[in-house]
């Protein structure tokens, strides 16, 4: 079965419509509260930053009730490095 020029135009329009729907859906989800980086009301614990030390270990900067905590994960056991001093309020 071969397509004539009208069939090719219809297929291209259908592909364009599907791509437009995917793009629009991604834009809507990016702005929704379900997005990964969006703050959620009522949450006390938040991952501020993560840094890979090597393929197994990571250092995590966690925030809990306005205080920051460093945690080392991925080795023989996880390790709490310690609480950081409070941040100075931004003026």
Beta strands of 1-91 (E only): which ranges? 45-52, 58-64, 67-73, 79-83
Q: State both tokens at 16.
A: 């364009």
pLDDT digits (tens, 9 = 90+) for 69-90: 999 999 888 899 999 888 777 6
Taking a C-beta distance cutoff of 8 angstroms, is the pair 16, 23 a contact? no
> Into how many domains does the chain fold?
2
The answer on pLDDT for 5 being more than 70 is yes
The answer on pLDDT for 41 being more than 80 is no
Enclosing domain of residue 4: 1-33
Same domain, 10 and 50: no
Residue 38 lies in a domain: no
Bridge partners (DSSP) listed for residue 45 = 64
Taking a C-beta distance cutoff of 8 angstroms, is the pair 60, 50 a contact? yes
**CA–CA separation, 85 and 77 (whole Å):** 25
């Amino acid at each position: 079965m071969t397509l004539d020029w009208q069939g090719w135009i219809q297929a291209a329009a259908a592909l364009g419509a599907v791509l437009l729907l995917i793009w629009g859906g991604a834009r809507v989800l990016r702005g929704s509260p379900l997005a990964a980086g969006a703050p959620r009301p009522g949450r006390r614990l938040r991952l501020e930053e993560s840094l890979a030390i090597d393929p197994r270990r990571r250092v995590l900067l966690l925030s809990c009730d306005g205080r920051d905590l460093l945690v080392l994960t991925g080795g023989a056991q996880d390790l709490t490095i310690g609480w950081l001093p409070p941040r100075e309020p931004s003026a």
